[in-house]
Structure 1
Amino acid sequence: MKKISFLILSLAGLLFTACGDDFTDWASPQSNLPENAVEIPGLKASAVGDIDLAKAEDAVQVFTLSTEKLPEGYTFANARISIITTEVNCMPVKINATLDGKVSKEELQNYAVKTFGKRIEKHNYSAHVFLNAVKDGQALLIDAGVVYFDMTSAPTRTVIYLFGDFSGWSPEKAKECAMFQTDVNVFAYYGKFDGNVKAWDEHNLGNWDMCYNTSKDKDGSTEMSGPLEISNGGAIHSPEAGFWKMEMNLNTMQYTWTKLENQTPQEYSSIGVIGDFNGWGGDVELTQVTPHNWFVKTTLSKDGGLKFRANGGWDINWGADFTVSDADYSAQGVAGAANINVPAGNYCIYFNDITGMFAIVSE
């Protein structure tokens, strides 16, 4: 068997010129499987079992390679996988790997989320393993076979930023418009809309290929609800001008528009936060970034309670029996309710004065 593999590699020099372009292409992500890959008897990738990303290290073991000795002067390099699931219709994605079969947890999580959304579920995957046999700067593409495994995505803090015609299309403007978390993986923004919107999560802010939007064939759709996907796809258009609740459900990967009952909400000259962090001695004022939505980036110097209030007085104030944490950062403020408990730290603070919804997101 080894003689056969050595013979293949000895003849590889005849193929290096032809395969050089393939090797160059494979240094960059692509959708199509490579041509001219060869199999070496005795060299095969094996699965290591199911993967739970919640329990995994930053580098996740996906496969192992059987040992195959190479002729003098040859080395293995540039391992990568082409990962895909057969549960939905999608294209394979290339992810770099180490020669001992480890792959970035972040890239696996991103693929799972892009394919299935934010749901924490187990799904079936396959990974086609490729690597190069390299000598003197030339490379032969080796096909090490396919491994099959189940993988469960990891729960993570999710912050979704809505952006579009109502706010501006830059990442900087998007970060001023965090959606409020109303349920697990369900987010809403309440405001005045008359145009297109998309969204980013905090880990992909500014990456147009990782937008939450609808499909390209539905670009500019004014439907009351529709499918969400993660792509550089079609923008979602408000059904008509007015005040709306724009909801994105990442469990079902659906969006929904709901027209607000109050189309003439009360105006406030200012919204501020006040609390133990400043000795209840005056407001840290928020900026109104879109109609009735307010934002400030600030430091809370000590643990304790805080409230939101309007116009620098106590006649109109909002609180909640709620303790802010890194992952649980959003709730609905109620007029005259208890102080909101917040640990000391650096925060982006968001408030909607129509609903009392707030988000206090740690930096």
Structure 2
Amino acid sequence: MKFLYLKQLLVFVFCLGLLSCEKDEDMVVIQPGTKSLLSATQSALVLTDQDANKDAITFSWTAPDFGYSAAVNYSLEFGVKGTDFANAVVKDYGTSLVKTLKVSELNAIANELKMTGFQKGDMEVRVKAGVGGNYAPTYSDVTALQITPYLSEPPYATLYLVGAATEGAWNENAATPMFRSATDPFVFTYTGYLKADDFKLLGQLGQWAPSWGSGETANGVTKLVFRSSTSEADVNNFKSLIKEAGYHTVTVNLRDMTITVEPYDATGKPTFNSIGLVGEFNGWAAPDVKLTKTTVNPHIWSGSITLAKASELKFRVNEAWDTNWGSSTDVTKLYGKGGAGASNIKMAAGTYKVFFNDLTENYLFIKQ
């Protein structure tokens, strides 16, 4: 009996020894990690959509020392200067120690960080290195970049003219809408009556920011100065761009941040008593959804329409087909240029503000 007990005791001790050995094999003494060193081939970049497929910048970094051999995974973290990487854009690159970003990739990161398009901004980048488990990752020192990103299109449905030169004067809730170019979404135009007086540009109806004012003028082209919020200093009015009261074409380019004003000859242009919208939503038959004009600007029409479901539509005069406008550009966009007898404009369901200029045949729908 004693021999049996002794045998069982030896087996138990042997098992404990195996367990102890197994634990000893799994245990790793982790030393505090030394951080990676990050370098970049560029420090200041102006990004353009023409160069979208070109290489923009190459980041490379050294491997940190965690005190033992381990597979390290790396991420690049991108943030706006001064935010301490709050809401950072994080890109994982596995075990690689180098990454080249194309212009389009770096621009997408800048857009995701909500950096202002076509203006210099400060971006910060760092490397995060981690081995997983319970061990904290290491971070490299911050590399600073100056980036001028571009946008695929501006974040404004349109721009608005406000000021003594306009019909609504300095009432920001009655500002005059411009029309977005059908061929370049960064170009906005307005053709209509203006007084020889001051004005500014607004990005949102009823709000004083974002806004644009006057910068330097050279060779008939005036540079825009941007104000992103009301906490910033106000921008200067455009003071001398309109030489005398009358019809003018105002052209704003948010790509190169310029504005021009040219006289427009409206002599002999027809004026209409009524313009409205007709389409699938009303069976292509009267009554049309009527738009309105003013005595100051009898060629610019505005109104609203609610579509219960997707519908094709056109603009027409006096609820008749003698004079009508569809779209001579992309029929699926909310802005474009009409054409006599052109294709139907295709609209999704919803409620829209509507603007139409019978001088230029430009139209604009702003979804509410």
Q: If the TM-score is normalised by the length of the shorter chain, which range does it land in?
A: 0.5 to 0.7
| Identical aligned residues as a percent | 23
Tell me whether 1:267 sits opposite 2:271 in the alignment.
yes
Unpaired runs of 5+ in structure 2? 1-33, 50-78, 91-108, 127-140, 228-233
Conserved in 1, the CA contact under 8 Å of 2:300 and 2:355?
A: yes
Conserved in 2, the CA contact under 8 Å of 1:44 and 1:145?
A: no
Conserved in 1, the CA contact under 8 Å of 2:111 and 2:149?
A: no
Letter in 1 for 2:221: S
Counterpart of 2:222? 226
Letter in 2 for 1:214: S
Counterpart of 1:280? 284
- Deviation readout 1:257-280 (Å, 9 max, x if unpaired): 122122453322222111111212
Aligned-partner SS, 1:183:
coil
- Deviation readout 1:196-244 (Å, 9 max, x if unpaired): 2322234x96143x312212x77xx9x9531122123222242321111
Q: CA deviation at 1:245?
A: 0.9
Q: Which moved more, 1:235-244 or 1:42-51?
A: 42-51
Counterpart of 2:102? none
Q: Would the alpha carbon gap of residues 82 and 342 (structure 1) be closer, same or farther in structure 2, given more than 3 Å must change? A: closer
Counterpart of 1:238? 242
Conserved in 1, the CA contact under 8 Å of 2:119 and 2:148?
A: no
Higher RCO by CA contacts (8 Å cutoff, separation 6 or greater): 1
Tell me whether 1:206 sits opposite 2:202 in the alignment.
no
Q: Would the alpha carbon gap of residues 153 and 311 (structure 1) be closer, same or farther in structure 2, given more than 3 Å must change? A: same
Counterpart of 2:303? 296
Distance (whole Å) between structure 1 residues aligned to residue 151 and residue 257 of structure 2: 17
Distance (whole Å) between structure 1 residues aligned to residue 123 and residue 345 of structure 2: 46
Conserved in 2, the CA contact under 8 Å of 1:109 and 1:154?
A: no
Distance (whole Å) between structure 2 residues aligned to residue 183 and residue 100 of structure 1: 34
Distance (whole Å) between structure 1 residues aligned to residue 236 and residue 172 of structure 2: 18
Letter in 2 for 1:239: K
How many residues in Structure 1 have an aligned counterpart in Structure 2? 268
Distance (whole Å) between structure 2 residues aligned to residue 161 and residue 100 of structure 1: 30
Detail structure 1 runs of 4+ shifted over 6 Å in the superposition: 42-52, 99-102, 104-107
- Deviation readout 1:7-49 (Å, 9 max, x if unpaired): xxxxxxxxxxxxxxxxxxxxxxxxxxxxxxxxxxx99997899
Tell me whether 1:190 sits opposite 2:186 in the alignment.
no
Distance (whole Å) between structure 2 residues aligned to residue 251 and residue 279 of structure 1: 41
Distance (whole Å) between structure 1 residues aligned to residue 87 and residue 329 of structure 2: 48
Greater Rg over alpha carbons, structure: 2
Q: CA deviation at 1:286?
A: 1.4
Q: Would the alpha carbon gap of residues 323 and 107 (structure 1) be closer, same or farther in structure 2, given more than 3 Å must change? A: closer
Conserved in 1, the CA contact under 8 Å of 2:329 and 2:337?
A: no
TM-score by length of structure 2 reads: 0.57
Distance (whole Å) between structure 2 residues aligned to residue 285 and residue 47 of structure 1: 62
Tell me whether 1:164 sits opposite 2:138 in the alignment.
no
Distance (whole Å) between structure 2 residues aligned to residue 47 and residue 294 of structure 1: 56
Unpaired runs of 5+ in structure 1? 1-41, 55-80, 84-93, 117-124, 130-143
Conserved in 1, the CA contact under 8 Å of 2:180 and 2:189?
A: yes
Q: Would the alpha carbon gap of residues 248 and 358 (structure 1) be closer, same or farther in structure 2, given more than 3 Å must change? A: same
Conserved in 2, the CA contact under 8 Å of 1:159 and 1:178?
A: no
Q: Would the alpha carbon gap of residues 318 and 111 (structure 1) be closer, same or farther in structure 2, given more than 3 Å must change? A: closer
Q: CA deviation at 1:299?
A: 1.3
Distance (whole Å) between structure 1 residues aligned to residue 80 and residue 84 of structure 2: 9
